[in-house]
Amino acid sequence: MISRLNRISRETPGCPECFPRLSFTQIAFPANDKSLFMSTVRTRFAPSPTGYMHIGGMRTALFNWLWARHNGGQFILRIDDTDQERNLSEALGPILQAFKWLGLDWDEGPEVGGEHGPYFQSERNDLYRGAVDKLLAAGKAYRDYDTPEQIQADREAASQEKKNYLNIRRSLELTESELEQYAAEGRPSVVRLLVPRDQKIQIDDAVRGHVEFVAGLMPDPVILRGNGTPLYNLATVIDDAQMQISHVIRAEEHLSNTPVQVLIYQALGYELPQFAHIPFVAAPGGKEKLSKRKLDKYRKSPQFKKMFDKAEAVFPRIGLENAGGLDPVMVEYYEKIGYLPEAILNSLARLGWSLDDKTEFMSLDTIVENFTLDRIVKAAAGLDPDKLLNFQSHWMNQLSLEDKIEHCSPYLEKAGLVQDASQPEVKERISRVIVGMEDRLKVASDILEFDEFFVPDVQLEYDDKAFKKRIQKSEEAVALLEKFKEQLAQTDDFSAAALDHLLHEFVEAEGIGMGQIIHALRVAVSGKGTGIGMFDCLSILGQASCVKRIDRAIGLTQNA
């Protein structure tokens, strides 16, 4: 374990000698700032209530959670609803549900509260206003009366001259009396941070290393809107500082926001957290950030197609029209289609992080134990549906039979294939089918592909291609089926082993190859060309069904 302790963990708070991020000599530390000596790792995830949980966001949340748990620290959930008009509980519900489903608990946040609340930014306006007032008073921010049109014109002018745009700062030239007059007449204004243009901003990122930005290239960012509400960059800094977040672990698209935030930290005299900008989750087979806005493109992607196909095959059958509005960018998609939390967690953890050179399958406990920031990969990683399915297959196989039944039964019920899966004889059948499925059961909803065991004999649908190939176009198939059916009808032992024996004897007596009958038999009783082991299949269906189905199949050849 100790040897695993990496550069970063050595730099975590509690070790004042190796605080690379304290190279900001210009920061004034309040003498009584306890947080300077805090040793608790506190991480946070701050989703905005969008109505769904993004799978990439989930990975970011997971890394935060892992780092907190690895260090015995706290994980905080905070809701970024500063720009929020929709129904909050409706928009937040699916997000919290995703955390609950995966078992990622939070120590502070919605539903659980905590000492550093409130945990909704919309309820923290006083804090933001107070900070802005402080910045204004200290001359580190200014009230800007420039209209959006003016700003736009300035930008265009700069771009015409091929120059980098910087605020003209006209409002700084205003006289005392003009300012008073503007304020009195309620002229619209925003508050901007006064960027110290002579600085270099340095960030020591746990994943990226040392990154520098030139402040002289940065426009003055708006920190307070005209309506008095804060912007993300302001709110996040104040919240992180006040909530004593030790490590800000977030996706790399935030790296370019970081200099603004560092300036705000400095202006407010706050200690900087350790930043860790992890790569974003990319779309399968690419390097582009996975985005809900590109769903139409994904539908055509060969890697992604399987997931959409699966959704189309499963969701309508369980009563979700239009796939229930679910797509593979959403965590809920995986939950509803029958993935296991273990598989999603394992897969997400391996996306951009590894334990060593060969370990693939890891329980959450194993991941927590071994998770360190220095093993995070720098490059963006594409979500790989095939590999995810492989993880899923592995974890599904770890489940007890009882658990598998538990996971699969709801699908059969929702699809109307069984009335009540808890009834003993129904449960027994489900159990036998699952045993017969063996590794064919990967995702819980896969059981729907074995509906032949649950539909009434007369409603069994025959796969056209398989029926034609194995029965219709096979010269001897019908005759053999007819003959073997008689034997099936007469036997009194319908166990898989006995049926195995029976068919082998039949084949021998007829002097034919197994292949000449078994395919036809399979299609006749199951309607499909592939399925579980033949004898398990017959045995589960039972004598009466097998006979009826063979008769029906033979009948169908005569009608055609």
When asked if residue 156 is in the footprint of RNA (CB under 7 A), the reply is: no
When asked if residue 307 is in the footprint of RNA (CB under 7 A), the reply is: no
When asked if residue 382 is in the footprint of RNA (CB under 7 A), the reply is: yes
When asked if residue 429 is in the footprint of RNA (CB under 7 A), the reply is: no
Beta strands in 49-104, from DSSP E residues, in sequence order: 74-77
When asked if residue 143 is in the footprint of RNA (CB under 7 A), the reply is: no
Residue type, 545: S
When asked if residue 305 is in the footprint of RNA (CB under 7 A), the reply is: no
Q: For the window 447-476, what string marks contact with RNA as x by the rule CB under 7 A?
A: ------------------------------
Q: How far is CA 512 from CA 239, 317, 490, 503, in A?
A: 78, 41, 21, 11
| Total Cβ atoms within 10 A of residue 72 | 8
Phi and psi (nearest 5°) for 182? -60, -45
Helices marked H in 246-324: 258-268, 295-300, 302-314
Q: Which of the ranges 320-328, 378-386, 485-493, 552-560 carries the binding residues for RNA, by CB under 7 A?
A: 378-386
**Closer by beta carbon to RNA, 18 or else 377:** 377
When asked if residue 148 is in the footprint of RNA (CB under 7 A), the reply is: yes
Among 36, 172, 215, 255, binds RNA (CB under 7 A): 255
Q: Which of the ranges 128-136, 381-389, 402-410, 552-560 carries the binding residues for RNA, by CB under 7 A?
A: 381-389
As given in the structure block, the two tokens for residue 75 are: 């994980």
**Closer by beta carbon to RNA, 315 or else 353:** 353
When asked if residue 38 is in the footprint of RNA (CB under 7 A), the reply is: no
Closest distance of CB 49 from RNA, Å = 9
Q: How far apart are CA 238 and CA 230, in angstroms?
A: 10
Helices marked H in 438-476: 464-467
Among 508, 509, 542, 544, binds RNA (CB under 7 A): 508
Closest among 248, 250, 236 to 274, alpha carbons compared:
248
When asked if residue 5 is in the footprint of RNA (CB under 7 A), the reply is: no
Closest distance of CB 541 from RNA, Å = 13
**Closer by beta carbon to RNA, 391 or else 411:** 391
**Closer by beta carbon to RNA, 34 or else 162:** 162
Among 377, 455, 479, 489, binds RNA (CB under 7 A): 377
Closest distance of CB 345 from RNA, Å = 14
Q: How far apart are CA 317 and CA 339, in angstroms?
A: 17
Among 33, 156, 253, 493, binds RNA (CB under 7 A): 253
* Total residues binding RNA (CB under 7 A): 86
Q: How far apart are CA 190 and CA 384, in angstroms?
A: 44
Q: Which of the ranges 93-101, 268-276, 458-466, 518-526 carries the binding residues for RNA, by CB under 7 A?
A: 518-526
When asked if residue 399 is in the footprint of RNA (CB under 7 A), the reply is: no
DSSP string of 153-204?
HHHHHHHHTT-------GGGG--HHHHHHHHHTT---EEEE---TT-EEEEE
Closest distance of CB 531 from RNA, Å = 6
Q: Which residues are the active-site residues?
A: 292
**Closer by beta carbon to RNA, 3 or else 558:** 3
Contact 502, 521 (CB under 8 A): no
Beta bridge pairs of residue 104: none
As given in the structure block, the two tokens for residue 383 are: 């979500």
Among 2, 31, 379, 560, binds RNA (CB under 7 A): 379
Q: Enumerate residues 158-177 that contact RNA by CB under 7 A.
A: 162, 164
Give the long-range contacts of residues 485-489, CB within 8 A, separation 24 or more: 485/546, 485/547, 485/550, 485/551, 488/538, 488/543, 488/546, 488/547, 488/550, 489/543, 489/547
Among 111, 123, 156, 288, binds RNA (CB under 7 A): 288
Burial of 461 (0-12, 13-18, 19+ CB in 10 A): exposed
Among 358, 365, 425, 559, binds RNA (CB under 7 A): 358
When asked if residue 346 is in the footprint of RNA (CB under 7 A), the reply is: no
Among 67, 213, 270, 484, binds RNA (CB under 7 A): 213
Closest distance of CB 550 from RNA, Å = 15
Give the long-range contacts of residues 283-287, CB within 8 A, separation 24 or more: 283/382, 283/383, 284/382, 284/383, 284/384, 284/385, 285/382, 286/382, 287/379, 287/380, 287/382
When asked if residue 354 is in the footprint of RNA (CB under 7 A), the reply is: yes
